Structure 1
Amino acid sequence: MHSLVQPNSWVALRLPSGNLRVLQVAPNTTISLGKYGSFPTNLIIQRPYHLTYELQDRQPNENFNRLRIVPAAELYADILAEGEKTPVSEDATPAPDVEGADNGPSEAVEYSLVDPDSGAVVATTDRAEIDASARQTLTLDEIEALKKDGTDAGRALIAKLMLSHTAIDQKTEYSLAKYKLLKTRKYIRRFSILPLDVPMLDYWTLEDKDASRIMEMREEMIGLLGCWANVHFGGTDPCEAPPTLKTEQEGEDTKMEEPELVQTSAPGRWLVVDDTGGLLVAAMAERMGILYASEEDKLNREQRGAKHSNSRQGGSTAGQQPQIKDEEGSTQVPARQEDGSEVKPESEGATQSKSPQTSHKRPAEHVVPYAHANTITHIHPNAQPNLSFLRYYDFDITNPTHTPYHPLAKHLMTLSWLQLLEPELDSTYNSPPPRATPEEIYSWKTNRRSTYHRKRKRWVKTRHIIDTTRKGEFSGLVVASSMDPISIMRHAVPLLAGGAPIAIYSQSIEALTELADCYSLGRRAAWATNMPEGLADKTLEEQEKWTGNDDFPLNPSLVLGASIQTSRVRKWQVLPGRTHPLMSGKGGSEGYIFTAWRVKPAEGKVEARGKLRSRKRKVDDQNAAS
């Protein structure tokens, strides 16, 4: 996460009312805050986060508001002034004396006003009375007229509201500070820029958007999933050269081979089932260090975009040389002789006489664009994965080729349950592109050649994802899905390596309770003494892929340490004599997490070897030795 606001990045604006507004900071545009005003986005680009801005009054010849950074001394002026000297009321009621106790000096009860957003104490007083006859003399029409004037960023309106109060002198310091705080939050034209990290995105979706879209998963649940699944940076790619799809020429025939899979147990490969729109994937990618693109990658993207835009500008203009596009689609500037005349290109017949190897510069091998370590493999039930939340981090899952600079382009792989369980039914996996010799490819037009190479790359990527996933040896399993967890574990557990952690989130506890019962101590004991018929003669690999029956829905010998837990962070009011948790809060599901570890059963029976010595003989040996 960058410390400065970057162009085209997503940020969260906290308004004076306390609400959040998420928007993209596009250069040379205007951001409108409704009744507060509008300002150009260039005023906040390359500025630090967590600053508080104030919309100043518009200039006569401008149609936008300029911004002023509010210093911290101005933001907390009332609090600092209150901390220097705490007023004590003369008519404060002393605490009653207790008979037979050492009362010491009497202390008055102190009341404090706390801002619910910042948690800072705004004012303190020892009087709890609030005058009920207090009222405002300004009418609604007069207040609306003052709001339209929009002078002094709303501070003038707040001052007039306080001066027009008939009982302002009768208010206690506590009630006066409360009245000022309410009016400030309503009329002041200030806002703060906050980074849109995963906790902020989760809070915004829970509070202001549709909480059911992320299965009402709170921030503490996301943290527990990452901790119990041991999600961390899994290391760099151990392979110097990634697997490629090679072609062997045998005369005029070209034989297409399948992608070569690297036979290595690379660390840092997590399997995830995410039905939260990509929020869980984003949280895992943040812990693995692959969620945010670096400045160097973004610079390379801008340079590639500039080259692409220049290549699309055809024809000759004033002061520019005429451009000619070759069959590959690249733009070339024709060479010139010493007299200034252009060098004419070779005739069509001469071009055809050249060998394809010298003219056709497209490589004869396709590199698999995926890493082999520190990766996330996402399994989804749909035709396309639903990872829409990743767009807030500058990654488009629907078209990853538009963001090749992003780390997720190489470290995030997606496949459906159909491709995992029955890959022969997938049209892309089971339908390789037709064979074609280099001479035939060179003779095609540009569009047909591009289509051929695009289908070939897609086939290579699909086979790589499916084959590496079915090979297994994943470092962990993380699930946040509305699917039955038993059905997920039946097919996902055999893909995990020994000792891999498992973390499953569910909105209700019933589904996780049934899952934990499948791996209970009683089930494992019954499995060891009375294994299902016909299963004892099978190998361990076949037992791991067993589909289960009524008595044993899952193989209980594959998982140990199954448990269920929950956690909820509650806000507390911490004031002198009044410390208690807040009684009001957002409802919804509590949320539970199932945790366990994948184990490899020992092959054959485990027997204890050695001489069995009775207790009496052991005591006799000890007496003889003494």
Structure 2
Amino acid sequence: MHSLVEPNSWVVLRLPSGNLRVLQVTPNTTTSLGKYGSFPTNLIIQRPYNLIYELLDRQPDEKFNRLRIVPAAELYADIISSDANTPTSEDATPAPEAEGDGDGDTPPTGVEYSLVDSNSGTVVATTNRVEIDASARQTLSLKEIEALKKDGTDAGRELIARLMLSHTAIDQKTEYSLAKYKLLKTRKYIKRFSVLPLDVPMLNYWTLEDKDATKIMDMREEMIALLGCWANVHFGGSDPCEAQPVAKIKQEGEDTNMEQQPESVQTSSSPGRWLVVDDTCGLLVAAMAERMGILYASEADKLAKEQRGAKYSNSKQGDSSGGQQPVSKDGEDQIRPPVKQNDDVEVKREPEEATLQKSPTATHKRSPERRKDDVLLYAHANTITHIHSNSQPNLSFLRYYDFDITNPTPSPYHPLAKRLMSLSWLQLLEPDLDPTYGSPPPNVTPEELYSWKTNRRSAFHRKRKRWARTRHIIETARKGEFSGLVVASAMDPISIMQHAVPLLAGGAPIAIYSQSIEPLTELADCYSLQRRAAWATNIPEEVAGKTLEEQEQWPGNEEFPLNPSLVLSASIQTSRVRKWQVLPGRTHPMMSSRGGAEGYVFTAWKVKPAEGKVEARGKLRSRKRKVDDQSAA
């Protein structure tokens, strides 16, 4: 996560009322804060996060509001003043002249008047308006409050000071009641906000509190942390073959049949491959990607993307000049026609001397370079394989991190482009029934391919690349050897474990989240100690005589819904972080909090059963003989 607000990034604005607003920082636009006002978005770009801004009054010659960074001394003025020796009189007393913030944006405020609590000596309100002191004991009417709100002077501080000073029973309030009253009025009228980064915890909090919590299955931040810890989600190491393509389709010189499978991938020696079933709109995938270090694009990737965009814009400008490029050769200006790039051939520029020496009657030969749709840029390690139950994966929350899963050609500069693979349950269990996997592109000769029109040839390459990508994802997923399994789904966990456990490597952790405890209790009973004892003493007849690989694929029966010998240490747990009010002498948990599902996590480990029976070897010494030896000694 970057420490500065980047252009076109998603941020969270925390308003004085405590509400959150998620928006995209688009340059050269205006950001509206509703009743508080608006400001140019460029004022917060390339600024640090977690700063508190204040909307200044609009100048007569300007059409927008400027921002002022509120210093820490002003934010904690009440706390600092409570420790100092301040006057105890309720009457407004003049304070020393306040200085500006040093940046030249705001002039000195001049004489400042303060309202001090008589019991604690705390400064309740401060202002530099003399007329407020004159009417300190007058009660404001609703019409006067609305007039002050329309004026919008002093970022709302004048209105707050008037409300505090016009309160006739202000001297009767206790210290806690006075602080609560001031906080209530400040949240209602002050024109301040803060810019926060939209990381995974903030996205989870915003969805729970302000949006629809059912989209993420009421999953709290502590539940996400438990899933990541128990599944041992971490950076799985750099890809040793990252510079090489994962799979490719053989060239016409090797075999012209396009229905062949891509080259096999060694998944058993590839660490950091996690299997995930996510029904939380991508929140769980985003949390796992953040722990694995592949959620945010690096600075090198962003720089390469910017350079490519600048190069593309320059090429477009060059094409608009007529489509011809001047070439200087021996002092003469010559015009070279533009090189037309085909969709299936990578054009390689040659030196100018070789170009000029060629005969104009020479025929164009097809470049032997590999076509662009022959290469599948997927990583071997540190990847996430997502299984969904829909026609398209629902990972909409990833768009807040500049990744669109619905785009058939995502940006190659984002880490998730080559490390996030998604497939449906149909593609995993019955791949031949999938229309994309089961209908490979036809066998077309190069001569016939070049005779097609550009649109038809482009459609053929898109279909061929989509088929190769789908086939690679399905084949690598069915080979298994995943490092862990993470589930947050409304599906029956028993049915998920039946098909997902055989895909895990030995010792892989398992973490499953459920809103209620009943489905996880049934799952834990399938792997209980009593089930394993019954399995060892009376193995089902349909499993007897089968190999370990065949036993893992066993669908189960009524007595044994799952093979209990494949999972150990099954347990269920939950956790909830309670909010506390911390005040001197008044520390206690908050009596009211958000409701919703409690949430539970099932944890276990995949094991490989030993072949045959475990036998104890060695000489067994009887107890009677041991007692006789001790008595003789």
Give the TM-score of the pair, scaled to structure 1: 0.86
Q: What's the CA shift for 1:618?
A: 3.3
Q: 2:561 matched to which residue of 1? A: 553
CA distance in structure 2 between the partners assigned to 1:76 and 1:123 by the alignment: 16
Q: Look up the SS of the partner of 1:449 in the other structure.
A: helix
1:271 and 2:275 matched: yes
Moved more, 446-455 or 30-39: 446-455
Cα deviation digits, residues 524-557 of structure 1 (max 9, x gap): 1111111111211111111111111111111111
Cα deviation digits, residues 288-329 of structure 1 (max 9, x gap): 00001112211222222333344455864xxxx4216xxxxx
What letter is aligned with 1:602? A
Q: What's the CA shift for 1:355?
A: 1.9
Cα deviation digits, residues 219-271 of structure 1 (max 9, x gap): 00000000000000000113363333243546995566321122242110000
RMSD of aligned alpha carbons: 2.8
1:483 and 2:487 matched: no
CA distance in structure 2 between the partners assigned to 1:364 and 1:399 by the alignment: 18
- Contact residue 14 and residue 21 of structure 2 kept, 8 A: yes
Q: What's the CA shift for 1:153?
A: 0.5
1:288 to 280, 292, 296: 292
Q: 2:363 matched to which residue of 1? A: 353
Q: 2:262 matched to which residue of 1? A: 259
Q: What's the CA shift for 1:447?
A: 2.5
| C-alpha distance 352-618 of structure 1, shift in aligned 2 (>3 A) | farther
- Contact residue 322 and residue 334 of structure 1 kept, 8 A: no
Q: 2:24 matched to which residue of 1? A: 24
| C-alpha distance 578-250 of structure 1, shift in aligned 2 (>3 A) | closer
- Contact residue 246 and residue 378 of structure 2 kept, 8 A: no
| C-alpha distance 466-124 of structure 1, shift in aligned 2 (>3 A) | farther
Q: Look up the SS of the partner of 1:267 in the other structure.
A: coil
2:517 to 509, 526, 539: 509
CA distance in structure 2 between the partners assigned to 1:124 and 1:26 by the alignment: 49
CA distance in structure 1 between the partners assigned to 2:373 and 2:57 by the alignment: 62
- Contact residue 248 and residue 256 of structure 1 kept, 8 A: no
- Contact residue 135 and residue 167 of structure 1 kept, 8 A: no
Q: Any residues of structure 2 matched to 1:596-615 within 5 Å, and which?
A: 596-615=604-623
| C-alpha distance 50-519 of structure 1, shift in aligned 2 (>3 A) | same
| C-alpha distance 336-203 of structure 1, shift in aligned 2 (>3 A) | same
| C-alpha distance 174-544 of structure 1, shift in aligned 2 (>3 A) | closer
Q: Look up the SS of the partner of 1:23 in the other structure.
A: strand
What letter is aligned with 1:241? Q
Q: 1:534 matched to which residue of 2? A: 542
Q: 2:449 matched to which residue of 1? A: 441
Q: Any residues of structure 2 matched to 1:220-619 within 5 Å, and which?
A: 220-239=222-241, 241-249=244-252, 257-263=260-266, 264-312=268-316, 316=320, 321-323=321-323, 333=325, 335=327, 339-340=332-333, 342-343=335-336, 353-357=363-367, 363=371, 366-399=374-407, 401-619=409-627
What letter is aligned with 1:293? A
Give the TM-score of the pair, scaled to structure 2: 0.85
Q: What's the CA shift for 1:350?
A: 6.8
Q: 1:112 matched to which residue of 2? A: none
Q: 1:15 matched to which residue of 2? A: 15
CA distance in structure 2 between the partners assigned to 1:88 and 1:67 by the alignment: 34
Q: 1:94 matched to which residue of 2? A: none
| C-alpha distance 136-555 of structure 1, shift in aligned 2 (>3 A) | farther
Q: Name the count of aligned residue pairs.
A: 572
| C-alpha distance 612-190 of structure 1, shift in aligned 2 (>3 A) | same
1:178 to 166, 180, 197: 180
Q: Look up the SS of the partner of 1:461 in the other structure.
A: helix
| C-alpha distance 570-85 of structure 1, shift in aligned 2 (>3 A) | farther
| C-alpha distance 623-261 of structure 1, shift in aligned 2 (>3 A) | farther
Cα deviation digits, residues 417-473 of structure 1 (max 9, x gap): 000000011121122211223333334333233222222221111111111110011
| C-alpha distance 552-575 of structure 1, shift in aligned 2 (>3 A) | same
- Contact residue 123 and residue 177 of structure 1 kept, 8 A: no
| C-alpha distance 595-136 of structure 1, shift in aligned 2 (>3 A) | farther
What letter is aligned with 1:26? T
- Contact residue 572 and residue 582 of structure 1 kept, 8 A: yes
- Contact residue 79 and residue 123 of structure 1 kept, 8 A: no
Q: Look up the SS of the partner of 1:201 in the other structure.
A: helix
What letter is aligned with 1:41? T
Q: 2:193 matched to which residue of 1? A: 191
Q: Look up the SS of the partner of 1:502 in the other structure.
A: strand
CA distance in structure 2 between the partners assigned to 1:375 and 1:439 by the alignment: 39
CA distance in structure 2 between the partners assigned to 1:214 and 1:304 by the alignment: 36
CA distance in structure 2 between the partners assigned to 1:485 and 1:285 by the alignment: 23
| C-alpha distance 3-123 of structure 1, shift in aligned 2 (>3 A) | farther
Q: Where does structure 1 lack aligned partners over 5 or more consecutive residues?
A: 90-121, 128-133, 325-332
CA distance in structure 1 between the partners assigned to 2:255 and 2:531 by the alignment: 62
- Contact residue 251 and residue 370 of structure 2 kept, 8 A: no
- Contact residue 290 and residue 408 of structure 1 kept, 8 A: yes
